Amino acid sequence: MKKHIVCLGDSNTHGYSASPDDCADGPLLRFNEEERWTCLLGKQLGEDYLVLEEGLSGRTTVFSDPLYEGLSALGYLFPCLTSHEPVSLLVVMLGTNDTKERFHVSAECISLGMERLVRAARNIECWGGKQPNILIVAPPPIGEGVYQSAVSETMGRGCVEKSRELARYYAQVAERQHAHFLDAAPYAEFNTIDYMHLTRKGHRMLAEKLAEVVRGLA
């Protein structure tokens, strides 16, 4: 059986494109299978791996959104992981949506949400009899331009500042939970439209780095 790499994330894992000019299927506003980092990762890893996309726009670590249902990763974790068993590696890149003002949580509290998610994943019987293998990826920080963008009101105050602190706190979570950690900031590029979604180039950059990391973990 191939090694199952489950990629659990938000719109940047789903492949949302803020610019129709930056993706091949412009009107769909989603990068296609030749552009998304998850698909590129699968191609770079080769035939011994199966990369499973679990990206949902708006997804949070553990927080329930008062405007939309079903966006907490915690509530979806059990069916997600058990449906893909045996899981060789769980890659989690979440936290950007948690910075929205309507959740009223600090960067440290977001990291505690990530920690709760990781603890839950460790206790799910999906690892094929092996030790849980989890990679926490801190998403790149949101750019200052978001406050002048079309999504400024929905993101609210403080999202940029909180997003800048996530990597530091996530690294601590990874150490406490015996998980692996990657700060995606040096290996990704956000657009200059909403300042919080990957460009086509950013997807390629992230895939290249993750291919290097995943080969060493699974």
For the beta sheet containing 87-93, the strands, ordered from the edge strand earlier in sequence to the opposite edge, are 49-55, 3-9, 87-93, 134-138, 180-183
pTM: 0.97
Instruction: Let me know: does 196 contact 151? Beta carbons within 8 Å.
Output: yes
165 confidence band (pLDDT: 50, 70, 90) = very high
Percentage of the chain lying above the pLDDT 90 cut = 99
Residues of the chain above pLDDT 70, percent: 100
What is the 8-class DSSP label of residue 143? P
Q: How many CA atoms lie within 13 A of 202 on its CB side?
A: 24
At residue 63 the predicted structure's pLDDT band, cuts being 50, 70 and 90, is very high
Task: Using alpha carbons, select from 60, 100, 65 the residue that is nearest to residue 77.
Answer: 60
User: Domain boundaries in the chain?
Assistant: 3-215
> If pLDDT is split at 50, 70 and 90, which confidence band does 56 have?
very high
Region 142-156: mean pLDDT is 96
Half-sphere exposure of 106 (CA within 13 A, CB side): 3
Average pLDDT of 15-39?
A: 94
Please give the average per-residue pLDDT across 102-118, as a whole number.
Answer: 98
Q: Name the CATH superfamily, with its identifier, for domain 3-215.
A: SGNH hydrolase (3.40.50.1110)
Q: What's the chain's average pLDDT?
A: 97
pLDDT (mean) for 87-115? 98
Rounded Cα–Cα distance for residues 64 and 83 (Å): 23
37 exposed, middle or buried (CB, 10 Å; 0-12, 13-18, 19+)?
buried
The letter for the amino acid at 109 is C
For 29-49, what is the mean pLDDT?
97
Report the pLDDT value the prediction gives residue 159, as an integer from 0 to 100: 98
